[in-house]
Amino acid sequence: MAVEGGLRCVKYLLFFFNFLFWLCGIALIVVGVLVQVVLHNTPVMRNASGSAAPLAIIGVGVVIFFVSFFGCCGAWKENYCMVTTFAVLVSVIIIVEIAAAFTGYIFRGKLNAVINAGLKEMVSKYGNGTAEYKKGMDDLQKCLKCCGANSSADWTSFRPDGDSVPDSCCKNITQGCGIRNMHDSKKVHQEGCRIALEAVLSKNLLWVTIAALVIAFLQIMGVVFSCLLMRGIRSGYEVM
């Protein structure tokens, strides 16, 4: 009876962890969609490299959603085949995530290169770009309180005088406030948007790491409980 009671507990724990895992899948899909929308509305990241990350998040969320649903059904019905398949699939996901983490660490500098290249392109096309393009750069400089890609000096070609910046670079934005004030730190932000944008990404990286650790914990616990339940089902114990 003690063994049966233990397996019943394992069954419900597996179902519970799979339910949390399923919610994590939904959360990843939502986060991926939101990030994709934000990046799509930010010209600096509106390219294939910028879209890769949110699309990958959405893909992982979809996989987790279906695998966890499969695990919930297997645990509830005490189906040895379904529980085994779930354990194998989650193990594969964990391996892929570890590989992705190492790859992301190795190529972590690529994102900075994409940001820098995108910002420089925005600065160079600002004068001849569409109204939406200009608004994207202006909104970025206003929001992050920055100017240019690496510094306000990136706007040297903005006007013939070589000493003017868009009004969105100003600390107190007024009409014409950026004219001949490129190097005036009292009126114009001197820090480039690359540094400010990287700082924002680094700040949010902590929350991404915490979320990844929580999901990894749920995955490992899911595999452990699956193995215990598989052993019980195979031994012929009545779990219910």
| Confidence check: pLDDT of 44 > 60 | no
Shortest CA distance to 225 belongs to which of 42, 107, 63, 68? 68
**pLDDT above 70 (res 37):** no
Per-residue pLDDT of 209-222, as tens digits, reads 677 777 777 778 77
Q: What pairs with residue 151 in β-bridges? A: 191
In this prediction the pTM is 0.55
CB 195 within 8 A of CB 146: yes
In the numeric block, the tokens 């309180």 are attached to: 145
Is 26's pLDDT higher than 80? Answer: yes
Q: What is the pLDDT of residues 90-120, one digit of tens each?
A: 888 888 777 766 766 666 666 677 777 888 8
CA-wise closest residue to 154 among 191, 111, 187, 179 = 191
pLDDT at 177: 93
Phi, psi at 172, each rounded to 5°: -120, 100
What's the Cα-to-Cα distance from 174 to each of 151, 166, 167, 179, 219, rounded to whole Å? 20, 11, 7, 11, 53
Q: What is the mean pLDDT of the chain?
A: 78
Mean of pLDDT values over 21-36: 77
pLDDT tens digits, one per residue of 187-210: 999 999 988 887 777 776 667 667
| C-alpha to C-alpha distance for 170 and 178, rounded to whole angstroms | 6
pLDDT tens column, 114-170: 777 888 888 888 878 777 778 888 988 998 899 999 999 999 989 898 899 999 999
Secondary structure class of 236 (helix, strand, coil) = coil
Fold of 112-193: Cd81 Antigen, Extracellular Domain; Chain: A (1.10.1450)
Domain ranges of the chain: 2-111+205-235, 112-193
Under 8 Å between Cβ of 169 and 148: yes
Return the H-helix or E-strand segment holding 63. Answer: helix 48-77
